[in-house]
Structure 1
Amino acid sequence: GDIHGQYYDLLRLFEYGGFPPESNYLFLGDYVDRGKQSLETICLLLAYKIKYPENFFLLRGNHECASINRIYGFYDKCKRRYNIKLWKTFTDCFNCLPIAAIVDEKIFCCHGGLLCDLLWSDPDKDVQGWGENDRGVSFTFGAEVVAKFLHKHDLDLICRAHQVVEDGYEFFAKRQLVTLFSAPNYCGEFDN
């Protein structure tokens, strides 16, 4: 799930789950912005990806887009601590990250949701088909969209992030979709 620059919480995840390459990892995006240590967070994640390319995977989230992280803090952190050239280098790197992965041919993983928007869309139990998203961008999708997608592609589960959920995870659509969120006490506002 989302990490959003919460470096020490990322370290706790590794302490709990095992440090690479002892454990394999697939991260679902949103590594930067909002938290205090975006640079340390993304540098550690990229270092692990370089050192253990077969055990460590990084997907792109909506905050790995220049237009978003320029607003929500990553650009300013790079500029203040180093320079704009560093931010541009990270942007080039983010532009190369994949937006989806399939685990064991049965689990579809992405940051946000389903097409038409893998980085921004959200599930909504009150929506039939597709609906408008309260975020002001993208769409929401209902349980039947999840079921159709899984059936069409012979998959069992959709694993996504992008929304704060209590307990760090939440199921949707008869446990056919799970939302993960890995940043506890997110922005000091949530008791997740």
Structure 2
Amino acid sequence: MLTENKEVGTGWSHEERWNLGWRLESHGVDRRAHVELELQLVQHSISQFTARGVQLLEYEIKYLCTRGREIFLEQPILLELEAPIKICGITLLTCHCQYYDLLRLFESGGFPPEANYLFLGDESVDRGKHSLETICLLLAYKSKYPENFFLLRGNHEVASTNRVYGFYDECKCKRRYNIKLWKTFTDCFNCMPIAAIIDDKIFAMHGGLSPHLQSMDQIRRIMRPTDIPDTGLLCDLLWADPSEAGSTGWGESDRGVSFTFGPDIVQRFLDKHGMDLICRAHQVVEDGYEFFAKRHLVTVFSAPNYCGEFENAGAIMSVDESLLCSFQLLRPASKKPKVWGKKKNEKKVNL
């Protein structure tokens, strides 16, 4: 028996988890059973973490990264998905309590596999003390439900970015882990998909459009693993932004990387490819979602009260079978997670 029906969280010590890891890795236990147990272990560890952080076992994290990498490579770099699906923008873990905002997100939209999910990148890497816990939970869900749970790559799933903004330090400092673990994550991130198409009508990515993008086959032909260059198609898909005040055409970005693009670029792209909507993340928006280009582009941002200072709402975009889109809003949570059951507001927008 794998677990002998022993409930995780009611007696698993670190020594038992290490021994179990050796058994699983040494004796070829069924992969599905392994993933199921890993998900239980990670969820239990995360539910118990304090402001000091929980010491997830290194072999558990490496397993999730390795299995996640395998699944990413088994699936295309340009995902072709079907509705119904829930789309989540940036979910950066900015403080202790925002881990609970991720759980509130699942409570609002349904825990996997109750609902299908697409995350638009920056999957809780950087700018927080508990990035590891959150990315491990997301990788665990990806491992357990590979056909229901999808993670796109964002600009923070890039070594040059997360080395500066905190994830590298979290991996190697405070006696948590080491640089080798950060490199394991980097190997996993380098294999993530870049964009998704939903029912041939919705194009989703982390950043935005690119002047280099003429055909979807350009994305499909990109070989993985790959780093993200400083310029070009991959860079723009992760870094580009809609222009301010509706300026037309392509413009220089204040970020110092990639471009901005106007509503005319959006309309031209949609007309050329027979699509109706572009869905992206990459920017804080006050209401959790914001339209651009006459509602032909929407920015979705799922982290409420970003960095503890913006007091913004977070949002989940739900796409039903008829491609009707609705938005479930997540207001900033109190410091206590007991408010998980609080009623959520919902706004519906017919696209």
Normalising by the residue count of structure 1, what TM-score does the alignment of the two structures yield?
Answer: 0.97
CA distance in 2, matches of 1:34, 1:50: 25
Establish whether residue 137 from structure 1 lines up as the match of residue 257 from structure 2: yes
- Aligned position for 2:109: 17
CA contact (8 A) 2:246 2:263 kept: no
Which one of the candidate residues 64, 70, 82 is aligned to 2:157?
A: 64
- Cα distance per residue 1:86-134 (max 9 Å; x no partner): 1000001000001100011110000000014100000013321100111
| Identical columns (%) | 80
CA distance in 2, matches of 1:163, 1:39: 22
CA distance in 1, matches of 2:205, 2:145: 21
Query: What is the deviation of 1:191?
Result: 1.2
- Aligned position for 2:179: 84
Q: CA RMSD in A?
A: 0.9
Which one of the candidate residues 109, 133, 145 is aligned to 2:204?
A: 109
Structure 2 unaligned residues grouped into runs of 5+: 1-88, 212-235, 313-351
Which one of the candidate residues 125, 150, 153 is aligned to 2:270?
A: 150
Which one of the candidate residues 303, 310, 318 is aligned to 1:183?
A: 303
Moved >2 Å (runs of 4+): none
- Aligned position for 2:294: 174
Structure 1 unaligned residues grouped into runs of 5+: none
CA distance in 2, matches of 1:46, 1:131: 36
SS in 2 for 1:159: strand
CA distance in 1, matches of 2:207, 2:135: 19
Query: What is the deviation of 1:7?
Result: 2.2
Deviates more, 1:112-121 or 1:65-74: 112-121
- Cα distance per residue 1:53-75 (max 9 Å; x no partner): 11000000000000000000000
Q: How many residues of Structure 1 are paired with residues of Structure 2 in the alignment?
A: 192
CA distance in 2, matches of 1:59, 1:145: 23
CA distance in 1, matches of 2:99, 2:275: 33
CA distance in 1, matches of 2:290, 2:208: 14
- Aligned position for 1:45: 138
Letter of the aligned partner of 1:146 in structure 2?
V
Normalising by the residue count of structure 2, what TM-score does the alignment of the two structures yield?
Answer: 0.54
Query: What is the deviation of 1:15?
Result: 0.6
SS in 2 for 1:63: coil
CA contact (8 A) 2:172 2:179 kept: yes
CA distance in 2, matches of 1:90, 1:151: 38
- Aligned position for 1:29: 121
CA distance in 2, matches of 1:176, 1:71: 34
SS in 2 for 1:12: helix
- Aligned position for 1:165: 285
- Aligned position for 2:92: 4
- Aligned position for 2:167: 74
CA distance in 1, matches of 2:299, 2:129: 24
